[in-house]
């Protein structure tokens, strides 16, 4: 039998599983399922869901086994593959004027320089895609497998301007893929990275108006300010937004929310938390966030933190235990964390929490989010400060599921430098209160 083009090496087989009973072993190659070549994890899951499954397996010695398996529908075979996608990640070939990866200093770990633009990661992990690195086959698979929601980086609905912003002459044409997804009823979310003097003002108004045509399948669009690091040599000159700029952006967004909500039951267009902090305006109430559809984009994170903390505090039984600890965060969240700590003093009067905003010297002072705080800045700015018995840091300062900061220092390195235990706190308000009064 002719060998298929895609061979996926099996890395693990669960003991006692169907695959284990059929004699499948780590190191074997999966060639096909029910006669279908398997491109990635979505093909695999789709075809092995049947009650009758025929696997084509290539053993380490080159033998090919055709295994017929009867099982329950959707029953797992117990096979694990080395990569989550069973395929290489698709990288981005744009040179977007706002791309933060292009603003990274040299010498950091290789994975930080990889630009993914993979629609499959959009479905699995919530990543945003530009559509320019997708072909018709990719769009067809999204529709076939219902890979939704798909998160799309629009930036602008002006095709000519989009080509300029992404430095890709096909970027405007790529927007037509949204029409296909909309026609198939695929749920989507969107993002606009706003650059001063480029896609704001009248261009932002135009983009919002055009994007509303995709309601209700396009359920939300976030507007986030461009992040500008100090490593922009050789890149297009971009200016930071001012307080007055932020107020203007919020005015535009709020007017559209008021117009759209009565008709669709969605506020649709949302401002990230940075705009409210920069404008000096209060955060919107919970109901304005439509169920927090854009939390990962920093839309409503501070509101959710505040409300969860307040609820946990109301339920908590206060005490008079003596505690002294410190908490480090970015400048964006600092005033809100300070406010929460102040509220906690009412029930925990003998708990002292020193809240320290960490200035981002590594990337530049205009970067204010805690997720881009490095261990170097943390150690330098907290050295010699009053820290108490432990230091709390938010989990978004670290690499996912690891204790490594962006600059490759570990939590242990920080503990050794500051001579204090470091506790990593999950993102919820309840988690913060529990960590404070533990």
Could you tell me the residue ranges of all domains in the chain? Answer: 8-81, 101-298, 304-436
139 burial type by CB count under 10 A (0-12 exposed, 13-18 middle, 19+ buried): buried
Which of 355, 391, 359, 353 shows the shortest CA–CA distance to 374?
359
Q: What is the C-alpha to C-alpha distance for residues 106 and 97, in angstroms, rounded to an integer?
A: 18
pLDDT above 60: residue 29: yes
**pLDDT, tens digit, 9 for 90 and up, residues 176-204:** 999 999 999 999 999 999 999 999 999 99
Q: What is the C-alpha to C-alpha distance for residues 124 and 300, in angstroms, rounded to an integer?
A: 22
424-425-426 Cα angle (round to 5): 125
Q: What is the C-alpha to C-alpha distance for residues 73 and 91, in angstroms, rounded to an integer?
A: 35
Residue 173 is predicted with a pLDDT of: 96
Determine the angle formed by the axes of helices 41-48 and 136-145, rounding to 10 degrees: 40
Residue 414 is predicted with a pLDDT of: 98
φ and ψ at 141, to 5 degrees?
-70, -35
pLDDT above 60: residue 379: yes
Contacts of 185 (CB under 8 A, 6+ apart): 217
Residue 118 is predicted with a pLDDT of: 55
**pLDDT, tens digit, 9 for 90 and up, residues 319-333:** 999 999 999 999 999
Residue 306 is predicted with a pLDDT of: 95
Lowest mean pLDDT among 20-34, 51-65, 102-116, 392-406: 102-116
Fold of 101-298: pyruvate-formate lyase- activating enzyme (3.80.30)
Contact 270, 254 (CB under 8 A): no
**pLDDT, tens digit, 9 for 90 and up, residues 354-373:** 999 999 999 999 999 999 99
Alpha helices (H) in 79-220, listed in sequence order: 119-125, 136-145, 159-166, 176-183, 202-211
275 burial type by CB count under 10 A (0-12 exposed, 13-18 middle, 19+ buried): buried
Cβ neighbours of 402 (radius 10 Å): 9
pLDDT above 90: residue 335: yes
Which of 241, 335, 352 shows the shortest CA–CA distance to 283?
335
Using a pLDDT cut of 70, give the percent of the chain over it: 94
**pLDDT, tens digit, 9 for 90 and up, residues 385-410:** 999 999 999 999 998 778 999 999 99
Q: What is the C-alpha to C-alpha distance for residues 302 and 14, in angstroms, rounded to an integer?
A: 42
Q: What is the mean pLDDT of the chain?
A: 91
For the chain, the farthest-separated pair of C-alpha atoms sits apart, in whole angstroms, at 76
Span 103-125, average pLDDT = 68
Contact 400, 427 (CB under 8 A): no
As beta bridge partners, residue 286 has none
Just give the CATH number of 304-436: 3.40.50
Provide the CB-side half-sphere exposure for 286 (13 A, CA): 7
Residue 66 is predicted with a pLDDT of: 94
Contact 90, 116 (CB under 8 A): yes
89 confidence band (pLDDT: 50, 70, 90) = low
Using a pLDDT cut of 90, give the percent of the chain over it: 75
Span 226-237, average pLDDT = 91
Torsion of CA 331, 332, 335, 341, to 10 degrees: -90
210 vs 121, more confident = 210
Residue 123 is predicted with a pLDDT of: 54
Cβ neighbours of 66 (radius 10 Å): 12
**pLDDT, tens digit, 9 for 90 and up, residues 136-152:** 988 998 898 888 899 99
Q: What is the C-alpha to C-alpha distance for residues 241 and 279, in angstroms, rounded to an integer?
A: 10
What is the 8-class DSSP label of residue 238?
-
Question: What is the end-to-end Cα distance of the chain in Å, rounded?
Answer: 64
Residue 4 is predicted with a pLDDT of: 41
342 confidence band (pLDDT: 50, 70, 90) = very high
pLDDT above 70: residue 116: no
φ and ψ at 128, to 5 degrees?
-100, 140
Q: What is the C-alpha to C-alpha distance for residues 406 and 360, in angstroms, rounded to an integer?
A: 12
Contact 343, 313 (CB under 8 A): yes
Token look-up 């401002």 returns 271
Contact 138, 263 (CB under 8 A): no
Q: What is the C-alpha to C-alpha distance for residues 294 and 55, in angstroms, rounded to an integer?
A: 40
Domain 8-81 in CATH 2.30.42.10? The answer is yes
φ and ψ at 216, to 5 degrees?
-95, 0
Residue 229 is predicted with a pLDDT of: 93
**pLDDT, tens digit, 9 for 90 and up, residues 272-318:** 999 999 999 999 999 999 999 999 889 999 999 999 999 999 999 99
Residue 1 is predicted with a pLDDT of: 38
Contact 417, 376 (CB under 8 A): no
Span 110-120, average pLDDT = 64
Which of 96, 268, 103 shows the shortest CA–CA distance to 171?
96
Contact 165, 123 (CB under 8 A): no
């Amino acid at each position: 039998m002719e060998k298929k083009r895609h061979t996926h090496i099996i890395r693990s087989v669960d003991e006692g599983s169907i695959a284990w009973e059929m004699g499948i072993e780590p190191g074997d190659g999966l060639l096909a399922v029910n006669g279908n070549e398997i491109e990635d994890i979505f093909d695999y899951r789709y075809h092995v869901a049947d009650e009758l499954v025929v696997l084509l397996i290539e053993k380490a010695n080159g033998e090919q086994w055709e295994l017929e398996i009867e099982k329950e529908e959707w029953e797992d075979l117990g096979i694990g593959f080395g990569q989550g996608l069973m395929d290489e990640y698709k990288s981005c070939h744009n040179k977007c004027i706002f791309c933060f990866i292009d603003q990274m200093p040299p010498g950091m770990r290789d994975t930080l320089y990889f630009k993914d633009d993979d629609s499959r990661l959009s479905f699995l992990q919530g990543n945003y895609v530009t559509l320019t690195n997708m072909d018709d086959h990719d769009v067809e698979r999204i529709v076939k497998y219902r890979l939704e929601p798909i998160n799309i980086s629009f930036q602008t609905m002006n095709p000519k301007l989009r080509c300029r912003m992404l430095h890709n002459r096909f970027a405007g044409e790529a927007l037509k893929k949204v029409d296909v997804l909309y026609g198939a009823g695929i749920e989507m979310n969107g993002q606009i990275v706003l650059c001063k003097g480029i896609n704001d003002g009248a261009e932002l108004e135009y983009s919002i108006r055009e994007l509303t045509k995709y309601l209700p399948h396009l359920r939300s669009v976030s507007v986030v300010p461009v992040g500008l690091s100090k490593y922009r040599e050789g890149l297009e000159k971009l200016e930071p937004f001012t307080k007055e700029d932020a107020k203007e952006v919020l005015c535009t967004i709020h007017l559209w929310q008021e117009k759209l909500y009565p008709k669709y039951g969605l506020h649709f267009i949302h401002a990230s938390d940075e705009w409210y902090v920069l404008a000096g305006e209060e955060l919107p109430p919970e109901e304005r966030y439509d169920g927090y559809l854009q939390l990962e984009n920093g839309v409503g994170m501070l509101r959710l933190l505040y409300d969860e903390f307040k609820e946990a505090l109301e339920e908590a039984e206060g005490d008079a235990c003596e505690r002294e600890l410190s908490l480090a965060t970015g400048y964006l969240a600092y005033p809100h964390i300070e406010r929460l700590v102040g509220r906690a003093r009412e029930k925990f009067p003998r708990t002292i929490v020193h809240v320290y905003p960490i200035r981002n010297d590594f990337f530049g002072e205009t970067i204010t989010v805690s997720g881009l705080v490095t261990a170097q800045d943390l150690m330098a700015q907290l050295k010699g400060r009053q820290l108490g018995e432990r230091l709390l840091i938010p989990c978004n300062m670290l690499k996912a599921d690891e204790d490594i900061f962006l600059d490759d220092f570990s939590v242990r390195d920080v503990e050794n430098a500051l001579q204090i235990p470091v506790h990593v706190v999950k993102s919820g308000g309840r988690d913060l209160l529990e960590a404070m009064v533990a």
